[in-house]
Each structure stands twice: as C-alpha cells, then as structure tokens.
Amino acid sequence: MNNTTDSIRMKRVSPELIPGNELSHLDFFYAGEARKQNMYIVRNGKIGWSYTHPADGEISDAVMLSNGNILFAHQFGITEITPQKKVVWNYDAPTGTETHTAVPIRKNRVLFLQNGNPAKLIVMNKKTNTVEKELIMQVGNPNKIHGHFRHARLTKAGTILVAHMDMGRLCEYDSDGIQLFKMDIPGLWSAEELPNGHFLVTSKTVVREIDRQKNVIWEYALSLSKEDGCSVTSPQTSVRLSNGNTIISNWFNQWNGNGQVDMNNQPVQAIEVTPDKKVVWVLRQWQSPDLGPSTIIVPLSQPRTTEKASFGNIH
C-alpha cells in the first residue's frame, strides 16, 4: 500500500475496532439467510432472545412489530411469533413459489411478494386469512423464481418500493401497480425509504443514498471495506442510524463447500460507516455466540415505525 493510500485509510478507519466482536456496541435484532433458521436479539453485548424456525428454507426478511412479535419470511412461507415463540399467524407459500419479504400494514395486514410464475404482490388480512389485494409483478425470467425478489418496503406515502433482483432495477409502484419511479441498478438486493424521502439502496458493489431525481447523495463503495481489512463481499441490507451512520450487513454462503467459517479468517457480518466513510464498528461473531450469516440488523436504540399506515387505501 503506498503512502497516499495509507494516509487516506488512516483518516477513514478506526483500526482498533477492525477485529470486531464488539457486541456491546449497540442493541439489535438480527437474522440471516442460513441453513439453520435462527434469529436473535442482542442486548448489552449478550443474546437476550433467540429462536430457531423448525422448517426448510432460509430467513430472508424479518421485522419486530410494535407489540414485540416478530414477522418473518422464510422462503416457503411467512410466520408471526410472539416473544414467547408462540406462532400466532402463518402462511404457507403454494408449491412452486417462494416468499422472501414481508411488510406489515398496521396490525392486521401483511404485504409480501411471492416469487413464482406469475410473480405476485399480495396483501393478506391476517385475521381473516383473505387476500385483499393481488397484483402481477414483472420479473426478468418467470421460470427462475428463486432470483425474482428479496426485499420490498412501503413508503410513508403508501407506495411500495420494490428491489427487482433478477432485473437489476429499483421501482416504486402505487397500489394499482402503476410505476412511479424506475432506476436500473446492477446487482440490486434491497432498498428502503429514508425519513428525508430519499432511498437507501444496497447492491453488490456499493451502498447509495439516491433522491427521486436519481442523484447520488451519498455512497460507500464496498471496495473501501476490503482496503480497510473488513471486506463486505455479499451485502444484503443497509440501515441508516439516527446519528447519520449506516450499518451494512454482509452475508456468508453456508451452502457452498462445507459451509464452515474459517475461524482464522472470519468473514465480516456487518460494518458501520460514518457519512465520511470511516468504519466505526465491525461485527465478526461466529462463536460464543455464533450469530450466523447476516441479512437483517435492526438497531433497538432508535425509534422505528414497523407497521406502515397504508398501501393505497388499504389500512
């Protein structure tokens, strides 16, 4: 590394935090796509709650509801459990389809994307188990269902922000399926609306904040994480903290090879970067406890509205 690069790195990185394993850095809810479907709540640097879902699939999306319940999508269905781990609602995806995202609408409804041929956006009433809305969704290849979608999020205006994974395209739709926004983003995995109305977008090579005019307001090229010794190679979701920092998750593929982590070269599960791209936290927690791969990290220290108010006229 030359002197110029070395100087830039020292300005951006807090080297003492690079080894990671700083569970006490913040309290958070955690889940990830893995062979063993686990979720955790970490408080004061320790596991305060954990759950293992006894089914096939992978946890692709999960959200803590305001009543403490957890709603999660696990490839072949969607389930809601209480903090006591009691199942209070469940949806089994039809044969030949997959569900990788779930978004609550107030208390009684859930919106999800169903990968399939055809792919669908569905709004279901959890109390009556009836479908209240169904839209056919465009995909890149109708027959390769696993790659259609991972994440969708409702906006404060009652529209839906969809990460078309197999198309590499971010789109916003109203409740009638009318496209309001479109932007091609290669390697797109997820996106969510920020309080300022901008979008925080996670793709394979970069995390960006963009406005509705497609201007890049902020970005963090993931090549920087490699230079900093905390390489993020498979990002899935990002979250903007109230202090302006951004947490970026990093997934590890347990289906490749023997699925075992090299404990002498542990992959990063998450990093936190400041607006000026300084790394201030690195998570590597693969033993005592083993958190597994990272997809979703939700900080518990800042207020978050989990149940969105509406999707169009559905409340």
Burial track 96-126 (b if 16+ CB lie within 10 A, e otherwise): ebbbbbbbbbeeebbbbbbbbeebbbbbbeb
In a domain, residue 162? The reply is: yes
In a domain, residue 313? The reply is: no
In a domain, residue 105? The reply is: yes
- List residues bridging with 86 in a β-sheet: none
Residue 191: is it exposed, middle or buried by C-beta count within 10 angstroms (0-12/13-18/19+)?
buried
In a domain, residue 136? The reply is: yes
Q: What is the pTM of this model?
A: 0.91
Which residue segment(s) compose the domain that 174 sits in?
A: 3-299
In a domain, residue 133? The reply is: yes
- Give the pLDDT of the chain (315 residues) as one tens digit per residue: 344 334 444 445 544 545 455 788 899 999 998 888 999 999 999 999 999 999 999 999 999 998 999 999 999 999 999 999 999 999 999 999 999 999 999 999 999 999 999 999 999 999 999 999 999 999 999 999 999 999 999 999 999 999 999 999 999 999 999 999 999 999 999 999 999 999 999 999 999 999 999 999 999 999 999 888 899 999 999 999 999 999 999 998 888 877 788 888 888 999 999 999 999 999 999 988 899 999 999 899 865 557 777 888 887
CATH number of the domain residue 103 falls in:
2.120.10.30
In a domain, residue 309? The reply is: no
The number of domains in the chain is 1
Residue pair 148/138 in contact (Cβ under 8 Å)? The answer is no
